[in-house]
Structure formats: C-alpha cells, structure tokens
C-alpha cells in the first residue's frame, strides 16, 4: 500500500487525479477537501495495479493508524503557503519518527510550483531542515517538484511510485 498525506490544502487529491490522467489534462477539475480517505488505483502497464490511499489533512492526528504495511509514502507540501510550513515540518518529523515507517520509502512532493507565491525548492527544504532530517531519518527520502494543476513534474513521481529510481535531489 502506498500512502499520500500532507497538511490541508496541499493538493493531494488533484495530484492523484493528474497521476491517473497524465496524458489527458483537464484544467476544469475541481476538488473539495478530503475529510476521510480516498483510494486511487493506478493501472501501470506490465505491473499489478498500485493502490494509493489518500488521507485528508484534517485527519493528521490519526494518520498513524494507517501506517501499518505502508511501503511508500508521498508527503505533499504546498510551496506557495509558507504560513503552513512550520506545521507541515512538524507533521513530517512525527511521521519520520514513527517506528511503523522506519523502512518506508518517503517522497516529499513539493506541489504548486506554478503559483506566483511559490518559493524555490531549496528555500523550502532549508526551512524544513531537510538535510538534517535526511541525515538522521532511517527512511530513504526523495524530493519532487510538481505542479498538479499544470501537470509538471509528475512523470518522475510516477516512476518513483512504480519502483523505478528517479534521480535523487
């Protein structure tokens, strides 16, 4: 099972919809905040279907109940919302510290890179103290810069989901 989590409003639902329809962008897609759980199944040629469980940001206090059996985790961060960054970092540190996730591969998905207010990824990663986290976390951490709305940067993330190794940042 693959888990997709992150604070409220980071674009998890749209990200998953776009991953399902890489070649058919639909800019009219509208989403509502995920209050519970969404399950998406990616049909990948020559592979078994991949189930992705998306948990709403409002469910952060109980995310840990869904960690058992998770092999990969996508943690989505909104790069245009710096006021949310402290909370996003704390939530990220909590999940890295959870013993159920110590062997999980973790992708930090920096979403909304197309927004005018977005920050450079290195600025965001510095604010999250990502280098320190990467050094001390038992998990394999990978970063991706994407725009779910524009569909940019989704192919490398999809390759990571499928199990092929993207170039680490």
pLDDT score, position 23:
62
Residues 119-133: b if buried by 16+ CB within 10 A, e if exposed: bebeebbeebebeeb
**114: Cβ–Cβ under 8 A, 6 or more apart, which residues?**
147, 149, 150, 152
pLDDT score, position 120:
74
**167: Cβ–Cβ under 8 A, 6 or more apart, which residues?**
156
Q: CA angle at residue 89 from 83 to 94, to 5 degrees?
A: 140
Domains of the chain: 2-162 (3.40.50.300)
- Residues for the chain: how many in total? 169
pLDDT score, position 115:
83
pTM of the model: 0.90
Low-confidence ranges of the chain (pLDDT < 70): 22-30, 117-119, 164-169
Cα diameter, the chain:
42
pLDDT score, position 153:
93
pLDDT score, position 10:
93
């Amino acid at each position: 099972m693959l888990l997709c989590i992150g604070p409220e409003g980071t674009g998890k639902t749209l990200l998953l919809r776009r991953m399902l329809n890489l070649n058919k962008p639909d800019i009219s897609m509208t989403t509502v905040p995920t209050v519970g759980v969404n399950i998406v199944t990616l049909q990948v040629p020559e592979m078994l279907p991949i189930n992705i469980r998306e948990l709403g940001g409002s469910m952060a206090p109980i995310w840990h109940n869904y960690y058992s059996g998770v092999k990969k985790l996508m943690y989505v961060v909104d790069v245009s919302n710096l006021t949310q960054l402290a909370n996003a970092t704390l939530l990220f540190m909590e999940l890295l510290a959870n013993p159920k996730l110590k062997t999980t591969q973790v992708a930090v998905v920096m979403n909304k890179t197309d927004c005018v207010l977005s920050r450079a990824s290195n600025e965001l990663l510095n604010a999250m103290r990502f280098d320190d986290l990467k050094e001390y976390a038992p998990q394999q951490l990978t970063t991706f810069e994407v725009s779910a709305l524009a569909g940019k940067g989704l192919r490398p993330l999809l390759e990571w989901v499928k199990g092929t190794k993207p170039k680490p940042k």
